[in-house]
Structure formats: C-alpha cells, structure tokens
Amino acid sequence: MTVTSPEFLARLVDDARADGVTGFVAAAVVTDADRVLLVRRNPGDFMGGMWEVPSGKVEDGETVLEALHRETAEETGLTIETVSGYIGHFDYSNSRGGTTRQFNFAVTVEKTELIVLTEHDAYQWAFLGELPEVSEAVRHLIAP
C-alpha cells in the first residue's frame, strides 16, 4: 500500500480519531540536497516566530493528500511533483484547546524557487545540522 493510496490516508485519519484527535494538518517536508525548506510563522499568529515545515489544516470534505497539495501551493507557491514517503505524525494543542495531529510527508517539488509567501513572514533553506528555532517535534521530524 502506497502512502498516497486512499486506504492508507483513511487509516491515518481513523487512527487519529480513535486517539481523540479533533484537528488534522498536512505538512510537506521539502528538501533540496542537504537542506530543508522552513517557513516562519508571523509574530502575531499562534506560535508566532516559530519556524516550521509548510503545513495547513485539512478542510472538511478534503483528503489529507488534497490538503497537502493545496497548502503547499498556498503557503509557498511551490507545486508538489511527488509524494515520496510518509515521515510520521505528531500531536499538539491547537489554539482552540483541542488536539491537532500533523501528518508529515516527504515531497519533491517541480521547482525549488521562486518561493512566494502568503501566510508566513520569512523562509529559508536550512541545513539539517543548523536548524533555527523549530519545535522539538519538527526537530525530531527532520533532524538526522
């Protein structure tokens, strides 16, 4: 079963619901050689100033895979070419007091530039050994 199959994606959501998770986020881990794309949350946002991988909420009626493609394009202007793997998930408390599960996927994009930010105030291609301020969950996700 591939990571893009409807069965695999449905199982991810079913398992999260069984764990009491109420919100779902799809995240793209975009790499270029030995660097990873990080975007910084706007200062006034929830967890403002924190660096993260491009990610966003799975909307009602949308699959995790659809959200992954949409959010990556909306937040960075990049188009996902291939979803090459499922890296895992982590849970966090969201701004509404519930629990959100972030599903993380390794992706390749058609082109690594030009990054067009719409929801963040900065981006960087960070070397894995020299990460800026990211959450422990993101650090464990992307650090070697």
Exposure string for 48-87, b = 16+ CB within 10 A, e = fewer: eebbbbbbbebeeebbbbebbbbbbbebbebebeebeebb
- Averaged over 25-44, what is the pLDDT? 94
The reported pLDDT for the residue numbered 5 is 94
The pLDDT tens digits of the residues spanning 71-103 come to: 999 999 999 999 999 999 999 988 788 999 999
pTM score above 0.75: yes
What does the mean pLDDT of the chain come to?
94
